[in-house]
């Protein structure tokens, strides 16, 4: 099974590229973030033509997550159980389902904005709710993984220059401690192998030629339990998909599984 996560930064804007990538990549299950559309606008029909079932948690122009699968889409749950509101709204940031025997979550963790901003506290609260919500599946016998845009670089080596990010969100001790809570629940970071560069970054800002200069961050992550990680045969960032006109500012992270070994 090939499973991937991809922050498309608007599925409407990215649809032609997404459809072409799905056809060429051989992906069986895709976790999508930042759909930036309503549920009614989601392109179920176009995806169905490629053989994908789809489920979406989306409410409008911000946020939004989805799951696409060629291997079944069962027991769909939208939202984060016990998750916090932001300004009275339960934002569409999580969706989960069982795909080909693997329990999969697609998540778009809040950005946090600035350390002094109330969105930062919301982000940490969201992480706590996520750790609690996945604990049972993380410790279970079935392959299980949380994939998505975590908006945290796990270590200083996951940003191109730690000094640039000093004092900013995405690299604070509290955010990294939130990832440690997921590890304590039984999940491990499935680290992509390096391809063109030593560090497999997943996000490059559109500004200041960040992508050509490889000024990136690794914030799109795959956290799997032991049955999941034991099945991993390969993991990589599809950096080619970040190139060219109309690309997202993120690249897909791809994981290959052999569930029979």
149 belongs to the catalytic site: yes
Among the listed residues 6, 52, 86, 108, the single catalytic one is 108
d(CA 254, CA 256): 7
Contact 19, 50 (CB under 8 A): yes
**List of residues 6+ apart from 48 with CB closer than 8 A:** 54
d(CA 195, CA 19): 24
pLDDT on residue 195: 82
Q: What is the pLDDT of residues 56-110, one digit of tens each?
A: 999 988 999 999 999 999 999 999 999 999 999 999 999 999 999 999 999 999 9
| pTM of the predicted structure, to 2 decimals | 0.97
d(CA 76, CA 58): 14
> What range defines the domain where residue 80 resides?
2-257
Six-digit token string for 44: 């179920």
Would strands 203-204 and 216-217 be described as parallel, antiparallel, or unpaired?
antiparallel
Among the listed residues 137, 149, 189, 238, the single catalytic one is 149
Q: What is the DSSP string of 174-218?
A: HHHHHHHHHHHTT-EE-PPBPSSSSS---EE-SSTTTTTTT-EE-
250 belongs to the catalytic site: yes
pLDDT on residue 261: 80
Which helix (H) or strand (E) element contains residue 236? Answer: strand 232-237
Q: Residue 239, exposed/middle/buried by CB under 10 A (0-12, 13-18, 19+)?
A: buried
pLDDT on residue 197: 80
**Whether the predicted pLDDT of 119 surpasses 90:** yes
206 belongs to the catalytic site: no
Among the listed residues 52, 220, 223, 250, the single catalytic one is 250
Q: What is the DSSP string of 98-137?
A: EETTEEEEEEE-----STTSHHHHHHHHHHHHHHHHHHHH
Q: What is the pLDDT of residues 13-40, one digit of tens each?
A: 999 999 999 999 999 999 999 999 999 9
CATH number, position 143: 3.60.10.10
- Tell me the binding residues: 7, 34, 149, 151, 249-250
- Per the DSSP assignment, residues forming a β-bridge with 57 are 65
- Tell me the binding residues for Mg(2+): 7, 34, 149, 151, 249-250
Structural domain count, the chain: 1
């Amino acid at each position: 099974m090939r499973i991937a996560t991809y922050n498309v930064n608007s599925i409407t804007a990215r649809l032609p590229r997404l459809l072409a990538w799905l056809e060429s990549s051989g992906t069986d299950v895709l976790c999508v973030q930042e759909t930036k559309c309503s549920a009614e606008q989601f392109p179920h029909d176009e995806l169905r033509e490629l053989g994908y079932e789809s489920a979406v948690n989306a409410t409008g122009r911000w946020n939004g997550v989805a799951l696409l699968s060629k291997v079944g889409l069962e027991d769909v749950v939208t939202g984060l159980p016990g998750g916090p509101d932001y300004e009275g709204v339960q934002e569409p940031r999580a969706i989960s389902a069982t795909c080909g025997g693997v329990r999969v979550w697609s998540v778009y963790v809040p950005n946090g904005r600035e350390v002094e901003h109330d969105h930062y506290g919301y982000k940490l609260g969201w992480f706590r709710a996520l750790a609690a919500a996945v604990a049972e599946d993380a410790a279970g016998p079935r392959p299980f993984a949380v994939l998505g845009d975590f908006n945290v670089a796990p270590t200083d080596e996951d940003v191109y220059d730690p000094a640039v990010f000093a004092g900013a969100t995405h690299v604070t001790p509290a955010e990294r401690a939130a990832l440690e809570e997921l590890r304590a629940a039984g999940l491990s970071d499935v680290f992509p192998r390096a391809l063109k560069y030593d560090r497999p970054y997943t996000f490059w800002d559109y500004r200041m030629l960040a992508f050509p200069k490889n000024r990136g961050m690794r914030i799109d992550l795959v956290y799997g339990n032991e049955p999941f990680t034991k099945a991993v045969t390969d993991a990589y960032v599809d950096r080619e998909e970040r190139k060219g006109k109309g690309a997202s500012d993120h690249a897909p992270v791809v994981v290959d599984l052999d569930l029979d070994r």
